[in-house]
Copies of this chain bind each other. A is one copy, B any other.
Amino acid sequence: MEHITPEGLGAPPSSTGLGQEIYALAERLFPICRSITGDGVRQTLDILSGHVDLERREVPTGTQVFDWTVPKEWNVRSASIIGPDGQTVLDFADSNLHVVNYSVPFKGVLPLNELMSHIHTLPEQPQLIPYRTSYYAPTWGFCMAYDGVAKMPDGLYRVEIDAELKDGSLTYGEYLHRGQTEREFLLSAHICHPSLANDNCSGLALLATLAKSMKARKTRYSYRFLFAPGTIGSIAWLSRNEGRTHLIDHGLVLSCLGDAGRPAYKRSRRGDAVIDRAMAHVLGREAGAKLMDFSPYGYDERQYCSPGFNLPVGMFQRSVHGTFPEYHTSADNLDFIKPEYLEDSFRILTDVIDIVEGDWTPLNLCPKGEPQLGKRGLYAALGGQASSGATSMSLLWVLNLADGQHSLLAMAERSGLSFRELAAAAKMLSDHGLLAAAS
């Protein structure tokens, strides 16, 4: 069957270059030492601004955002451990995972056993550096490969973390693609993780690329792209935009979108929002895709779906965070993500946007019996064959369910046909005067 792409539905992404483009952007973001505040976030937003006109927000240290207070701004210049023999055991310049994120500054000489209480390792993945944070409990620490620690001799170690915690601000960026209406589709990615490629350079790069691609498109919804630090960032955004969250009709949190895992979607707390149904429809056509119920652990959907907001926001990823061995380790590097998976994630996102944009509720203007499709050239001329073709089935389903109670998405759910086919059929029928929009 020939695929008909109705006007107004986005074309499928070309497979030439788009994945490479997203990957290249992720590659640029990877080396930066990000945290929930600080210059790493600003550098990241600088790079993203090359793709999309971000508005940058600075929320000063000490600002109350709901139950939280914006912390002091953290920056780290360097950090190292020098062994008893004067050899450098650890250098922050080698990996920005080496320092516990938000470590307080420290300089001193310690015996090994005392130092060890400040070193985090992964004994079961002895060659990997873990990623650890301590945003709100003032402490200092290092993260190292377990194999490296095992080789450290007894003796005194010179330790320095040249970090700074000072009054400053929390930074986030947002971009609003204005559609025909004020109703919004929120797309949100966390910007706070240091050199972790999948979590979440992939999400940041994908979101910026999507934002860029939307510029050329006229849409019904307005699309808000939010690049903010996890938890405190989305809470800050919600706090500053509390009066307009009622405009959000759909939303997705994006994370871990570049690995080889099959696409996975975690439903919003509501469970039956249009975004939940649209994602279920798209992923229902992807072999091995996973659909999961909401749970209050994960990314910023935790905040958007808190009971005081309960927004229709789900979470899209590939391998599920916390379940793959590379998660929050130095193995989540640029080898772990691939252009083809980034492109596949991009395509799923645009498919979902196509549904949200293209959905409508038709009314059959000829509802008593079937209209005669043949005289309109909409039906195979010769009858008697065993099955009606796919196009004919789409036409028949749309006509049958166009009672003003079924959106095209609801028709797709009931018929098992794809939204795309049904939208094309509805377009054909409208063009022949057989459908109107239900009021």
A189 CB, nearest partner CB in chain B, Å: 18
The proximity string for A residues 355-399 relative to B, scoring 1 for CB distances below 8 Å and 0 otherwise, is 000000000101111111011000001111111100011001101
Task: Pick from A101, A308, A392 the residue with the most CB of B within 10 Å.
Answer: A308
The interface residues of chain B lying within 8 Å CB-to-CB of A392 are 297
The interface residues of chain B lying within 8 Å CB-to-CB of A239 are 368-369
Is A369 a contact of B306 with CB atoms below 8 Å? yes
Indicate whether A415 sits within 8 Å of B295 (C-beta atoms), given known contacts A307-B403, A372-B67, A400-B306: yes
A74 beta carbon closer than 8 Å to chain B: no
A310 beta carbon closer than 8 Å to chain B: yes
The proximity string for A residues 123-157 relative to B, scoring 1 for CB distances below 8 Å and 0 otherwise, is 00000001111111101000000000000000000
Is B370 a contact of A302 with CB atoms below 8 Å? yes
The interface residues of chain B lying within 8 Å CB-to-CB of A364 are 306-308
A98 beta carbon closer than 8 Å to chain B: no
The interface residues of chain B lying within 8 Å CB-to-CB of A384 are 101, 130-133, 328
Is A66 a contact of B383 with CB atoms below 8 Å? no
A300 CB, nearest partner CB in chain B, Å: 10
Is A136 a contact of B372 with CB atoms below 8 Å? yes
The interface residues of chain B lying within 8 Å CB-to-CB of A310 are 403
Is B131 a contact of A396 with CB atoms below 8 Å? no
The interface residues of chain B lying within 8 Å CB-to-CB of A297 are 387-388, 392-393, 396
Interface residues of A in 293-346 (CB under 8 A from B): 295-297, 302-303, 305-310, 321-323, 327-328
Indicate whether A400 sits within 8 Å of B133 (C-beta atoms), given known contacts A234-B369, A306-B370, A386-B328: no
The interface residues of chain B lying within 8 Å CB-to-CB of A139 are 381
Is A303 a contact of B381 with CB atoms below 8 Å? no
A41 beta carbon closer than 8 Å to chain B: no
Is A231 a contact of B302 with CB atoms below 8 Å? no
A106 beta carbon closer than 8 Å to chain B: no
A32 beta carbon closer than 8 Å to chain B: no
Instruction: Give the distance in Å from the alpha carbon of A239 to the alpha carbon of B366 in the complex.
Output: 13
Identity of the chain B residue whose Cβ is nearest the Cβ of A271 in the assembled complex: B414
Say which residue of B137, B307, B366, B381 sits within 8 Å of A367 (CB atoms). B307
Is B401 a contact of A307 with CB atoms below 8 Å? yes
Is B369 a contact of A137 with CB atoms below 8 Å? no
A165 beta carbon closer than 8 Å to chain B: no
Say which residue of B296, B368, B382 sits within 8 Å of A137 (CB atoms). B382
Instruction: Give the distance in Å from the alpha carbon of A396 to the alpha carbon of B375 in the complex.
Output: 60
Is B385 a contact of A328 with CB atoms below 8 Å? yes
Is A368 a contact of B242 with CB atoms below 8 Å? yes
Instruction: Give the distance in Å from the alpha carbon of A222 to the alpha carbon of B385 in the complex.
Output: 36
Is A400 a contact of B305 with CB atoms below 8 Å? yes
Is A309 a contact of B368 with CB atoms below 8 Å? yes
Given contact pairs A132-B382, A135-B374, A306-B368, enumerate 19 new A-B contacts (beta carbons under 8 Å). Answer: A66-B366, A67-B369, A67-B372, A68-B369, A131-B384, A132-B384, A133-B382, A134-B382, A137-B381, A234-B369, A297-B387, A297-B396, A302-B370, A307-B367, A307-B401, A307-B403, A309-B368, A310-B403, A321-B386
Closest 4 A-B residue pairs measured CB to CB?
A308-B367, A308-B368, A296-B400, A296-B396
Q: Could you list 10 examples of A-B contacts with CB < 8 Å?
A: A66-B369, A132-B382, A295-B393, A296-B399, A297-B387, A306-B364, A306-B367, A310-B403, A322-B386, A322-B387
